[in-house]
Amino acid sequence: MSSRAVEANCDGLVGPTHSYVGLSPGNIASQINAGEVSNPRAAVLEGLTKMRKLADWGVPQFVLPPHERPDLALLRAIGFAGTDGQVLEKAWKDVPALAAAACSASPMWAANAATVTPSADTADGRVHFTPANLLTNLHRSLEGPQTARALRRLFPDEARFAVHDPLSAQSHFADEGAANHVRLCADHGDPGVNLFVWGREAFEHWEGRYPARQTREAFEAIERRHGAARGVFARQGRAAIEGGAFHNDVVCVGTRECLLFHERAFEDGAAMQDGVRRAADGMFEPVFVEVSEADLPMDDLVKSYLFNSQLLVLPGEDRLLLLAPGETRDNPRAHAVAQGLASSDGPIGRVEYVDVRQSMRNGGGPACLRLRVVLTNAQLAATNPGQRFDAVLHERLNAWAERRYRDRLAPADLADPMLIVESREALDELATILDLGGDFYPFQRAA
CB of 251 to ligand SUG, least distance (A): 10
- Minimum CB–partner distance for residue 19 and ligand SUG (Å): 6
How far is it, in rounded angstroms, from Cα 92 to Cα 88? Answer: 6
Q: How far is the CB of 253 from ligand SUG (least distance, A)?
A: 11
Write down the least CB distance from residue 388 to ligand SUG, Å. 23
User: Residue 428 pairs with which residues in a beta bridge?
Assistant: none
| Least distance between ligand SUG and beta carbon 179 (Å) | 3
Strand partners of residue 252: 261
Q: How far is the CB of 178 from ligand SUG (least distance, A)?
A: 8
**Set 7, 176, 257, 327: catalytic member:** 176
ω into 25 cis (within 30 of 0)? no
- For the CB of residue 34, give the shortest distance to ligand SUG in the complex, in Å: 7
What is the largest distance, in Å, between two alpha-carbon atoms of the chain? Answer: 64
Residue 7: phi, psi to the nearest 5? -100, 110
Catalytic residue among 226, 335, 368, 394: 368
Beta bridge partners of 193: 184
> In the annotation, is 258 catalytic?
no
Nearer to ligand SUG, 140 or 303 (CB): 140
Q: How far is the CB of 180 from ligand SUG (least distance, A)?
A: 8
State the catalytic residue, choosing from 188, 247, 335, 394. 247
Nearer to ligand SUG (CB atom), residue 119 or residue 362:
362
Among residues 19 and 119, whose Cβ is nearest to ligand SUG?
A: 19
* Catalytic residue list contains 262: no
Decide if 139 is catalytic: no
Name the nearest CA neighbour of 128 among 236, 49, 197, 231. 231
Q: Which residues lie near ligand SUG (CB under 6 A)?
A: 20-24, 27, 30, 104, 106, 109, 111-112, 140, 179, 246-247, 249-250, 362-364, 368
- Rounded Cα distance, 287 and 270, in Å: 13
416 CA to centre of own chain: 28
Which C-beta is closer to ligand SUG: that of 177 or that of 189?
Answer: 177
| Residues labelled catalytic | 176, 247, 368
